[in-house]
Amino acid sequence: DVKVTQSSRYLVKRTGEKVFLECVQDMDHENMFWYRQDPGLGLRLIYFSYDVKMKEKGDIPEGYSVSREKKERFSLILESASTNQTSMYLCASQQASYEQYFGPGTRLTVT
């Protein structure tokens, strides 16, 4: 079974802190994604990556950056956390255009 893990289920950070959200997949998938989910807004794509060291902006990249140094790991970085980044963050991996496999999510609260 494909397994996608995220470093934390719950995280509380202060405004202005640098925040790292880590995602690891164990199935050698090429594609990895970061989404945020907010009530009434569905899944919104922040960044995605089709290969190591490659990254593409999604629909809402402002305030975020990503890093993919190894194929299995895709990190989301909040350079200076703000309260409007309080959200549920979901990571997903995918092989080619097959179905995406999602991690359990990280609920981030920025105070």
Partner 1 sequence: ILNVEQSPQSLHVQEGDSTNFTCSFPSSNFYALHWYRWETAKSPEALFVMTLNGDEKKKGRISATLNTKEGYSYLYIKGSQPEDSATYLCAFIKTSYDKVIFGPGTSLSVIP
Nearest distance from residue 9's CB to partner 1, in Å?
Answer: 11
Nearest distance from residue 86's CB to partner 1, in Å?
Answer: 18
Residues 103 and 6: beta-carbon distance below 8 Å:
yes
Q: Does position 102 bind partner 1 by CB under 8 A?
A: yes
Site for partner 1 in 79-98 (CB under 8 A): 90, 94, 96-98
Residues 6 or more apart whose CB falls under 8 angstroms from that of 107 comprise: 9, 10, 11, 87, 88, 89
Q: Does position 74 bind partner 1 by CB under 8 A?
A: no
Residues 18 and 3: beta-carbon distance below 8 Å:
no
- How is residue 16 written in tokens? 């202005």
Q: Does position 16 bind partner 1 by CB under 8 A?
A: no
Which residue's CB is nearer to partner 1, number 1 or number 69? Answer: 1
Among 21, 25, 33, 46, binds partner 1 (CB under 8 A): 33
Q: Does position 39 bind partner 1 by CB under 8 A?
A: no
Residues 6 or more apart whose CB falls under 8 angstroms from that of 53 comprise: 68, 69
Q: Letter for the amino acid at 63? A: G
Return residues touching partner 1 (CB under 8 A). 33, 41-43, 45, 48, 56, 58, 90, 94, 96-105
